[in-house]
Amino acid sequence: QTIYLSEYRVPAYLVDNVDLRFELFEDGARVHSTLAIRRNPESDAGAAPLELDGDSLVLESVALNGEVLADDAFEDRGDRLIVNSVPEQFKLSVVTWIEPQNNTRLEGLYKSSGMFCTQCEAEGFRCITFFPDRPDVMARFRTRVEADKTAYPVLLSNGNPVESGDLDNDRHFVTWEDPFPKPCYLFALVAGDLVEKRDTFTTCSGRDIDLRMYVEPRNADKCAHAMDSLKRSMRWDEDVYGREYDLDIFMIVAVDDFNMGAMENKGLNIFNSSCVLASKETATDVAFQRIEAIVAHEYFHNWSGNRVTCRDWFQLSLKEGFTVLRDAQFSADMGSDTVKRIEDATLMRTAQFAEDAGPMSHPVRPSSYIEISNFYTLTIYEKGAEVVRMIRTLLGEDLFRKGSDLYFERHDGQAVTTDDFVKAMEDASGRDLSQFRLWYEQAGTPVLDVADEFDAERGVYRLTVRQSIPDTPGQTDKQPQHTPFALGLLDEHGKALPLRLSANEQDAPVERVLELTDESHVFEFHGLAQKPTPSLLRHFSAPVRVHYPWTREQLLFLMSHDPDGFNRWDAGQRLAVDVIQSLVGEPKDTPLDSRLVTAYRHLVTDSSLDQALVAKMLQLPSEAYLIELAREADVPAIHAARERVLKHLAIALRDDLVACYRRNASGEDYAVTPEQVARRSLRNTALAWLLVINDEEGRELALRQYREADNMTDRMGALRALVNSDYESDREQVLDDFYQRFQTDPQVVEQWLSVQASSPVAGQLPKVRALLEHEAFDWRNPNKVRSVIGAFAGQNLPGFHAVDGSGYDFLAEQVCRLDDINPQIAARLVTPLTRWKKFAPAYRSQMKSALEQVRDKSGLSKDVYEVVHKSLAD
């Protein structure tokens, strides 16, 4: 059933203290919970029955103020424990029995590679014990963990250890106390045989914080990067946001089985192994950067999420949007601002825009949901971050900081709403953000239609901008949103022109952020001798689509002249999109615009250009992006057109690519610096392009690079290039070699699975089915499932969209199978099918019938039910 924001009521009862005792055994766990509860003075529910949430619990006993309750004094409804009459203030003790070893949903307490761990966000705590499982109930937790001493020497929970000792039967215990009241979704427990890595951090006020990482012994040498990232994050949050860490200990644990990337449990962050463990031999540059960003993200949640948390799950973006913006700023500061912006804009335009145009489209602050796990989306996270970024752009950095200071100070220790966040920004800045709030309420990607004309006589350049927002499920007739629109104007030499909004304006800036509030605006720029070239929506200043009738001349010009790096990249993408689109469905001998080759040759040969930017500019728009831009996508045709452009460029630039490859070799020690990352990326792109055209020298370079690589970026670059080539026996040989080398390392085996499943060449359906039978595959491990099934449906687009519909049936079959094991993962994996309306008729109908197959499965989970029914609704 559907939950509505409009039905929010304050909790009838509050919990001040939680006292937990876990007895962990091999065949289950007994959880003793004592809650100090009182009526909420702000509730009008009066002496209503006490209702606690539960899920998959075996109730053993209930006691009120120490008196065991008779069976008729409470009601165990499975998903709810109701105690009919309770005093104003009391202690409730509940004992439950759970089976972590059989928990394949990975929500609540479960086992992963022999260790116990938890995931409670959003509603996993109710799988541990009966509790008011909602974020606006905040309590102090005291947690005693008891387990076998040999199998589980390390026992962790939130806060500080206050007591420990031995018990009978070779068991032991540790008691933890968290002084900060928190919602139960931030509770965590870990028990296992783990090695500890320690470090320290001295905060700005001079407090020494104990930093500890806990990993399985075989991963002991993969912790340094995460630890360094953590220290950089702690310093950065002090410097940029004035946020100091609050507890004496900060712990990070790596677990192999995890539904998401990581979790910000108070003082005890738990990570998916693939998002925290790295060594140069086993992790690529991209993985190193991702780890740094995720470690930062979880750490930043300590303030944006934990100290100030969400009132209810409709407010999820309050913590996620803001925290993603914070981690993006951090990554930009650690590396290249422009490159980070390009990556974020690419993700938005490729995946979030698609989500926003699909059946699950929802506002940054949704107003209803069936299963909250389905709302950990690109819209909540990435668009949510863009919305906060726009506030920062509108206010300027200083007022934004004033606003965030006010927000943290005003709401410390509270559970609040996105509206409270905006209010703090308004109060600190004096700006009116009432219209801006529509960004939180209206779904859909706004479209800006831009037209221009030049009045030569008056020297006036006139820009007309119209805003429209498409209808989305349940929302029509939307109001224009308050939108920052950054732009510049260039003369014919590429010089930035002053943007004079009136004829006599002095010292006009060369870049402005215009503010759009109405459906249509006309801006006039004065004092111009010629019609300028506009550089629009610089830095992707708002998450919108811009339509403007660019000519290829203009795009080529911007690609090499725009002083704004982001828009140089953007012009290159638009040009490549235009060329590829013009070839879709056209005969194979349709000539290709020769100016594209000239532009790309310039990128490959001119080493005076910013090489990090060049590495990005050389990436052709992805198939996923081209599909998103298409009206009725024909995937094989799009794939063929893109391949044609790729091969054409590779043939024309063949010698330049070899030179680029050699120029970017380097003998220096591996480090994840922007320069080295750019070099490796350029080199691997050159290699990939050479193999696309079956170049013999390219093949030799790839084989040598594969053999001699001292880091995973180069080894994987060579492997990927060979896997996607027509050199079949080389491909099989390096794939075998790679598996032999790394089969004991799950994080590397994941990469091995996904490089095959995502390849249109190596990832034919029978091959993908064979991977599911491989000894390395494990249905209960989400990473493995994502590496094969997710990679196939999400990245191997020609394979997934095979004309006979076999890819769709395959996905439907696997989703049904997974639904019984792990509904959260099943609901994620089904996403590619939900976009059926986007595709040409022949594909569409087959996708729809695959979805219907899933819909008709018996005992469908709430998670998959919501996604499938919403995508089949009309």
Task: List contacts with ligand ARG (CB under 6 A).
Answer: 121-122, 259-260, 262-264, 297-298, 320, 373, 376
CA–CA dist 72, 116 (Å, integer): 35
Of 152-181, binders to Zn ion (CB under 5 A) are none
288 burial via Cβ count (<10 Å: 0-12, 13-18, 19+): buried
Residue 262 contact among ligand ARG, Zn ion, none, beta carbon within 5 to 8 Å by kind: ligand ARG
809 burial via Cβ count (<10 Å: 0-12, 13-18, 19+): middle
C-beta of 292 vs 564, nearer to ligand ARG:
292
Is residue 747 within 8 A of residue 274, CB to CB? The reply is: yes
412 burial via Cβ count (<10 Å: 0-12, 13-18, 19+): exposed
CB within 8 A of 311, min separation 6: which ones? 8, 135, 136, 415, 416, 417
C-beta of 320 vs 562, nearer to ligand ARG:
320
C-beta of 418 vs 711, nearer to ligand ARG:
418
Q: Residue 813: enclosing H or E segment and its boundaries?
A: helix 806-819
- The C-alpha angle 759, 762, 768, rounded to 5 degrees, equals 90
C-beta of 301 vs 574, nearer to Zn ion:
301
Minimum distance from residue 15 beta carbon to ligand ARG (Å)? 21
Minimum distance from residue 133 beta carbon to ligand ARG (Å)? 13
Could you confirm whether 99 is annotated as catalytic? no
Is residue 172 within 8 A of residue 155, CB to CB? The reply is: yes
Minimum distance from residue 118 beta carbon to ligand ARG (Å)? 11
DSSP letters for 102-116:
G--S--EEEEETTEE
CA–CA dist 275, 431 (Å, integer): 39
SS (H, E, C) 701-750: HHHHHHHHCCCHHHHHHHHHHHHCCCCHHHHHHHHHHHHHHHCCCHHHHH
At 299, the amino acid letter reads: Y
Give the helix ranges, DSSP H, for 223-364.
224-241, 285-300, 316-334, 337-347, 353-356
C-beta of 373 vs 429, nearer to ligand ARG:
373
Of 301-320, binders to Zn ion (CB under 5 A) are 320
Residue 418 contact among ligand ARG, Zn ion, none, beta carbon within 5 to 8 Å by kind: none
Sole window of 79-87, 323-331, 491-499, 824-832 interacting with Zn ion (rule: CB under 5 A): 323-331
Minimum distance from residue 128 beta carbon to ligand ARG (Å)? 14
Distance, first Cα to last Cα, the chain = 19
Minimum distance from residue 831 beta carbon to ligand ARG (Å)? 14
Cα–Cα distances (Å) from 604 to 617, 678, 713, in that order, read: 10, 13, 20
Residue 376 contact among ligand ARG, Zn ion, none, beta carbon within 5 to 8 Å by kind: ligand ARG
Minimum distance from residue 126 beta carbon to ligand ARG (Å)? 13
Q: Is 270 left (phi over 0), alpha (psi -120 to 50) or beta?
A: beta
Minimum distance from residue 467 beta carbon to ligand ARG (Å)? 31
Is residue 731 within 8 A of residue 719, CB to CB? The reply is: no
C-beta of 134 vs 402, nearer to ligand ARG:
134
Dig out the tokens for 199 from the structure.
């470090």
Residue 834 contact among Zn ion, ligand ARG, none, beta carbon within 5 to 8 Å by kind: none
Closest CA to 823 of 23, 55, 281, 20: 55
Minimum distance from residue 331 beta carbon to Zn ion (Å)? 14
CA–CA dist 255, 274 (Å, integer): 9
Of 298, 386, 628, 866, the active-site residue reads 298
Minimum distance from residue 323 beta carbon to Zn ion (Å)? 5
Minimum distance from residue 90 beta carbon to Zn ion (Å)? 35
Binding residues for Zn ion, how many (CB under 5 A)?
Answer: 2
Burial 707-723 (b: 16+ CB within 10 A, else e): eebebbbbbbbbbbbbb
Is residue 512 within 8 A of residue 421, CB to CB? The reply is: no
- Give the nearest residue (CB) to Zn ion: 320
Asked if omega into 122 is within 30° of 0 (cis), the reply is yes
C-beta of 416 vs 771, nearer to Zn ion:
416
Residue 122 contact among Zn ion, ligand ARG, none, beta carbon within 5 to 8 Å by kind: ligand ARG
C-beta of 260 vs 847, nearer to ligand ARG:
260
Closest CA to 599 of 569, 637, 628, 625: 569
C-beta of 53 vs 121, nearer to ligand ARG:
121
C-beta of 259 vs 711, nearer to ligand ARG:
259
CA–CA dist 195, 733 (Å, integer): 36
C-beta of 243 vs 478, nearer to ligand ARG:
243
- Give the nearest residue (CB) to ligand ARG: 376
Minimum distance from residue 753 beta carbon to ligand ARG (Å)? 23
CA–CA dist 648, 298 (Å, integer): 44
Of 55-74, binders to Zn ion (CB under 5 A) are none
At 520, the amino acid letter reads: S
CB within 8 A of 562, min separation 6: which ones? 488, 490, 494, 535, 568, 571
Catalytic residue positions, numbered: 298
Using CB under 5 A as the criterion, which residues of the chain lie in contact with Zn ion when the complex forms? 320, 323
